Amino acid sequence: MKKPKFINKKWLVILVISLVLVTFSFLDEQKSIAARTIVLALSLDKVDDEYEVGIQVLKTDKSEKQEFLTYFSKGDNISDIIEHLSYDTGSTVALCHATVLIIGQDVLNTDDNKAMNFFFEGEVLCNNTMVVTSEQSPREVLSPTLSNGVGSGYFLGQVLHNMVGDFGIIPITIKDFFQNKYRIGSCVYLPCVSLEKEGDTTFLDITKSYVSDGKKGVMLSEKATKGLSLVLNKISNGTLPYQYESSVGELNFVKSAGDIKIEKDSDKAKLQIKATLKDNTYVPDKVNEELCKEYVSKEIISYIEECYNNCKDEGLDVFYLGQRCYAYENELYKDPFYLEKLQLEIDVKINMK
């Protein structure tokens, strides 16, 4: 005799699937994209021993005109501030699409990376988010709308992402910021942005840079920043002017990269810059290549020396020589005054195309 079938297998499977789907539909913690405020850029500063976080968002409605809004909030704790900002904006603040973080010099030198850890370790920001500091307060740089109608924070993020590999600019992501922070010497370098005004035109200047080890910092001039970018960046774009005898011209960077080696039992750090340049300005026949190379090499060395000496005077190991000593098994990195004991030898090899 056949046993009566109480439950049909197919219906049981459908029931289980429905139950699971219904249960998951109650996951109301998940806000839809419409209920989120997508942050394009943010700033972080310390004001009166409190953190001040600013966010820039794009107001979207049916009209075609773009409106960039900025919100600021203060507090002791970054996560509380972000919650406040969520109240202010009326929806959950989502930082994962932020293109740039403008960080105050005070935060860099006095905060011991507490706030930055929140953004990096907590995976709040994307690894590709650019980090910059500013000559004015981060608030002043983030909030204005530039002459082209774009919010300055958002514009800064876009520009920096497009400038990776440019001569004289040192864009750095939050991932690289922390990579450098964990190196011997704890030195970080980042572009220093300045909001400039010329008549009715408001624009951003990103030609300077700032170097900090978490306790002290030094501002690098445009020339020194060029030196820094030559040593630490792989350059694929930019121009270098030259002048010898009566010739004046401009060389384009095809590619350039720096390499520093320190031998095991040596106190000499050998820096080699290999650059391929192309003269587009004049008829190549009229250019004295050797003189041109000599001039350019001297210029490059002067850029690098300015950068290195400015940082060394402040005790900042901007070229990570301590880390390189460790990598090449040179015991010098154990000496607290290794920077003073090491000598930098610069060798520039120019290739003309």
Which residues contact other proteins by CB under 8 A? 16, 20, 23-24, 27, 29-30, 96-97, 99, 117, 120-121, 123, 126-128, 161, 175-176, 178-179, 181-183, 234, 323-324, 326-329
CB nearer other proteins, residue 11 or residue 24: 24
CB nearer other proteins, residue 19 or residue 248: 19
Measure the CA–CA gap between 321 and 333, rounded to whole angstroms: 8
Task: Tell me the residue type at 260.
Answer: I
Beta-bridge partner residues of 100? 41, 130
CB nearer other proteins, residue 110 or residue 128: 128
158, 98 contact by CB (below 8 A): no
CB nearer other proteins, residue 24 or residue 337: 24
* Shortest reach from residue 123's CB to other proteins, in Å: 6
* Shortest reach from residue 327's CB to other proteins, in Å: 4
User: 286-290, long-range: CB within 8 Å, 24+ apart, which pairs?
Assistant: 286/247, 287/247, 287/249, 288/244, 288/245, 288/247, 289/352
CA angle, 189 then 124 then 28, to 5°: 170
CA angle, 137 then 138 then 139, to 5°: 90
CB nearer other proteins, residue 182 or residue 337: 182
* Shortest reach from residue 204's CB to other proteins, in Å: 19
76, 106 contact by CB (below 8 A): no
* Shortest reach from residue 313's CB to other proteins, in Å: 25
Kindly report the number of other CB atoms within 10 A of residue 38's CB atom.
16
* Shortest reach from residue 161's CB to other proteins, in Å: 5
Backbone angles phi, psi at 283, to 5 degrees: -65, 125
CB nearer other proteins, residue 13 or residue 248: 13
CA distances 22 to 25, 38, 83, Å, are: 5, 29, 29
* Shortest reach from residue 127's CB to other proteins, in Å: 5
Instruction: Please provide the distance, in angstroms rounded to a whole number, between the alpha carbons at the two ends of the chain.
Output: 93
CB nearer other proteins, residue 110 or residue 127: 127
* Shortest reach from residue 89's CB to other proteins, in Å: 17
Measure the CA–CA gap between 152 and 150, rounded to whole angstroms: 6
